[in-house]
Every structure is written in structure tokens, then in C-alpha cells.
Structure 1
Amino acid sequence: MNNNDPILHLSELLPKVIKLAYEAGDKIMKIRQQASYDVEKKQDDSPVTEADYASHNHIIKGLNDLPQDWPVLSEEDPDITFDMRQQWSTYWLIDPLDGTRDFIAGRETFSVNIALIHNHQPILGVIQLPVTGECFSAAYNFGARKQLLDQEPKAIQVAQLGSRPPVISVSGARKNDRLKNLLASIGHHELIYIGSSIKSCRVAEGEVDFYPCLGPTSEWDTAAAQCIVEQAGGYFTDVKGEKLRYNERPTLLNPWFMVYGDNSHDWYQHIPKED
């Protein structure tokens, strides 16, 4: 290993990124408390608010201030060609406000997501929940942790299913026949609707057993969550059981994926065929 290997810097980077995520969350909350704020539509018709941009700008500045000179790919600045980014072996991948629709609707399920990608895999992940003050973090070979504001972080790990009915989390915005058929095939279960990357965080801390995603997402939606889940002992794969990989294709869209903690159950048998 040489000094340019990002794995050597994870222990010093993680607390800095956690601090940065909390600061970005504070900026989001200040805008949330305003009487009104700007909302625009992007080219794909998805909404973006001034809170997205405030968080984006703060995170970009903070990452650029770090001594490591790694590029940044953000949801709010995605217009970097594949020809350019395929040359990156290490880069930051961020979603400054994951769950913008929930933010606009006044719900609490939105987050700040920051990941460090190296050789197509997330090796550091931080997800901060501005409303609750929770922060989930992980780094390669460091395990996963959860902290609340200034409290000491505590190690987290996924739950084992045993003989109890599984707790399943899905997005309330993605109710469709595919999902209904999947849930029916599992049988008795407890269903929880949660927005944004928080679903994956609940798997990582053992509150949820299974999170299937059968709809469109982008790489910045999953990178930090994947690192946290894997370091908590869980699995974050496509429907064929392969780990999600990053920055390998011109598109930034993910395949369908599934997140789970206990691999003694064959979750893959419940996944319907893609159209």
C-alpha cells in the first residue's frame, strides 16, 4: 500500500465527513423552518429545492478543503461525462438531500448522504438524518456505527431473523403490483413505509430485516447506504446476488436491488422478473 491509497486515510476522514454531514443537515433544517423556500423542476421532472443546493454547496466546499484531491460527483451537479469520470479510481459520491419529495411534503424521512468510492466500491459512507439528529457511518474494515448529535457513537449490526416474521421496509411512493406480489410471496410479515436511505439504515441497525427496491434509483442514492449495511454485516446486492458497483457505465441508474441482514433466508426467491 502506498500513501495515496484512500484506505489508509479512512480513520482520519470519517469524523470529518460526519461533521460535514451534520453541518449540511443544519442548513437543510434552517430552510425547512422558513415560511417558504424555492422549489424547481429538473430535466427529469424531479423536484429540487434551495435546501438541496445549500447542502450541496456546503458539502462540496468541505470535501474540497480536505487535503486529498479527489473529485466529487453530486446529484445536484451530475453533468460530468462518462469519458471523464471513468478515469476516476477514487471519488466522492453525494446526495445532498436524499428524499426531496418527503422534505417538500413536510415529512421527516430525508437524509444527507456522503460516500467515498474506490475501485467501484463504497469504502466510506455517512448518512445523517437532519430531523432526528441520527447519523449512521461506516468505513471499510471499521464496522458501522450510529450516533445521536454529540453522543458517543455505538456499533450497530444487522439482525438475525430466527423464527419470527420478517420486518420489511419499502418506499410509500413505490406501491405497485410487482411489490405486492413480492410481499405476498413472503407470507406473514410486518411492513413499514420509510423514505430515502433511512430504510437501509434501519436494516443496518437491526430494526428492519429486508428492503427490496424494484424501481429506479441512482448511484448517489445507494453508495453510502451500501457501505453502512455491509460493514454492519448485511448484504446490499442486485437481484442476482451481486454487489452493486459504481461508475462502470454511462448511466448512473442502479438496477433493482435488495438489502437484507440475515442470509439464512433465500430472499432472492421472492423477486419478480424485470419487465
Structure 2
Amino acid sequence: MTNDKMAMYLLPPLFNAAVRAGASIMQVYKNRDDYDISLKSDHTPITIADRLAHKTIREYLGPTRIPVLSEEGREMRYDERRNWELYWLVDPLDGTIEFIKGNNEFTVNIALMENNVCTGAVIYVPYYEKMYIAGRGTGTFLKEGVAPDAAAEYTYDRIVAGCRQLPLEPDHEVLRVAVSRSHQTEETHRHIARLRERHPDLEVVEQGSSYKFCLLAEGKVDYYVRTTHTYEWDTAAGELILAEAGGSTRTLPDDRALRYNEEDLRNPWFVSRAKGCKV
């Protein structure tokens, strides 16, 4: 975050909003016959868990007086948000398809954006009770054993206690390439084929949601290629979490930084690299 005072003031609501949203999600996840699935305007699915998590986050972050741009509020007009200096960028349930499939690979993403640059972020993985935290210029940290809790009220001191800084020591020797479990294209496969020419023993890791950024930040995978559309709320938190762990994210094929609060909220294709990845 931009300074220590802001971190101490804004990290608790950021953290607690994600934990509370995770509790909303897990309550629905336990009752898989009542997901209330429908389609959004882009033909992607939405469930009652998405709606409940969105409501939880908006209500909890409301007292900060910082506006919220969320996947479930995507219809907000560009003229209304284009001059925001500070805002929350939120995906209340990233990996809805994985949630519906029941494979546990879904996250809560919340990013604090300052002048359209992410300055603080969390990604919460409620099923695995893992919270990834990053502040610009202060590093990335992993806190485990964070159970979903609808009444979460973590203090700053409690949040930072027991956190481990990322990346961890690598636990593999071959190149590990992450891809989306549910969103692969021929371009994805061709890209991996080119990598395999130089790294014939590479391993492909299929994974849903922004958890891929977390695995990169930990050092459990080395490279992530995405050749289907994502949105700004899919990447903002994960990009900072990876960057503060020494990694990078660049667009394909033009090798530029991702940009935020654009009129069109869709991202270009991109690749992300873990710290030390030279591919």
C-alpha cells in the first residue's frame, strides 16, 4: 500500500471483506442443489454465491467511502468511473465455473486501485483457507488457516502475525506451465508446443481462477499463458501479488503492461512469469 498508515487502516477491511465473502460462498457451496445458476450478458454463468459475496463485500467496504467496481456491477458507465483516483476492484467469486463443477478452485479477489495502479491486494481461497496479501513496495505474504467467517474482524496485528513472505523455495526442477482449466484455445496449445520445443520435459498444470497467480507467487509453477478474454477484476489483485513476489505479467503479443479502468474492461492475452523464470 502507499504508506504504513494507509496499510494499517485499509488492510483490515480488505482482509475481512474477503473472509466474509468466502463465508457466503462456502455456505452456498455446501448446498450444491441450490446454486440458482443464470447467465450474464457475456454468456458466462453467475450463481447465488456470486451475488451474496458481492453484497457482503459492498456492505463491508461501504464505510471506507471508497467506490467499488465489481464484476457483479460491471454495467457501471465509463463516464462515472473514469476519473476515480481511488477505488476497490473486486471479483467476489472468481472461478464460477470451477465452483459449479465442485472442484474447489475458486477465489475472492479484492484490489485497491490508486490512479489505476493496484497498490494493495488480497486473494482468498476459502476452501483451502489461504489468504494471499500484497502491498506495492512491501512484498507478498501468505497467511494460512484463515477459515471462512461471516463475522470476521481481524485486526492489523492479527493479520500480519504468522504470515510467510513469498516466494517459497522451489519444489520442482522442470518448467511448470499453468493454464486455465476451463478456458483453453488452440493458441494456448500452440504456445505450449513452442515452449516444449525448448523444454521437452515441461509439466502442464491445469488450474481454475486467479489461484494460478498465487501458485506463481509461491514458486509452485513458473509460467502462465492466457489466450482467452479475462477482465480487469480477474487480474488486478493477482498481478500485484505476483509482482511483489518477484514475478511479472505482460501482454501478448506486444509485451506491454496490463492497463486498468479502461473503457473496455476486457484484458488482452497475457503471460505471467514467476520470479527467476527466464522463458
Answer yes or no: same fold by TM over 0.5. yes
Displacement, 1:134?
0.7
Q: Contact between 2:180 and 2:208, CA under 8 Å: does it hold in 1?
A: yes
Find the residue that maps to 1:65 and give its secondary structure: helix
Q: What is the match of residue 110 of structure 1?
A: 106
Q: Distance in 1 between matches of 2:116 and 2:212?
A: 23
Q: What is the match of residue 155 of structure 1?
A: 165
Q: Distance in 1 between matches of 2:171 and 2:129?
A: 28
2:232 aligned partner, one-letter code: E
Name the count of aligned residue pairs.
258
Q: Distance in 2 between matches of 1:211 and 1:158?
A: 18
Q: What is the match of residue 28 of structure 1?
A: 25
Displacement, 1:215?
0.8
Find the residue that maps to 1:223 and give its secondary structure: helix
Whether 2:251 is the aligned partner of 1:257: answer no
Q: Distance in 1 between matches of 2:96 and 2:277?
A: 35
Segment drifting more, 184-193 vs 170-179: 170-179
Whether 2:95 is the aligned partner of 1:85: answer no
Tell me which stretches of 4 or more aligned residues in structure 1 moved more than 4 Å. Answer: 5-8, 158-162
Structure 2 residues not aligned, in runs of 5+:
147-160
Q: What is the match of residue 215 of structure 1?
A: 228
Displacement, 1:11?
3.3
Q: What is the match of residue 272 of structure 1?
A: none
Whether 2:24 is the aligned partner of 1:15: answer no
2:207 aligned partner, one-letter code: I
CA RMSD of aligned residues (A): 2.0
Displacement, 1:243?
1.9
Q: Contact between 1:47 and 1:100, CA under 8 Å: does it hold in 2?
A: yes
Displacement, 1:36?
1.8
- What TM-score, normalized to structure 2? 0.87
Find the residue that maps to 1:165 and give its secondary structure: coil
Match of 1:246 among 260, 265, 268: 260
Q: Distance in 1 between matches of 2:112 and 2:265?
A: 16
Q: Contact between 1:89 and 1:118, CA under 8 Å: does it hold in 2?
A: yes
Displacement, 1:6?
5.5
Q: Percent identity?
A: 34
Q: Distance in 2 between matches of 1:262 and 1:28?
A: 32
Aligned pairs for 1:101-250 within 5 A: 101-150=97-146, 152-157=162-167, 164-187=173-196, 188=200, 189-239=202-252, 240-247=254-261, 249-250=262-263
Deviation digits for residues 82-132 of structure 1, max 9, x if unmatched?
A: 111111121100000000111111111000000011122111110001111
Displacement, 1:262?
3.8
Deviation digits for residues 175-225 of structure 1, max 9, x if unmatched?
A: 332111111111220111000000110000110100011110000000000
Q: Contact between 1:102 and 1:108, CA under 8 Å: does it hold in 2?
A: yes
Aligned pairs for 1:51-62 within 5 A: 51-62=49-60
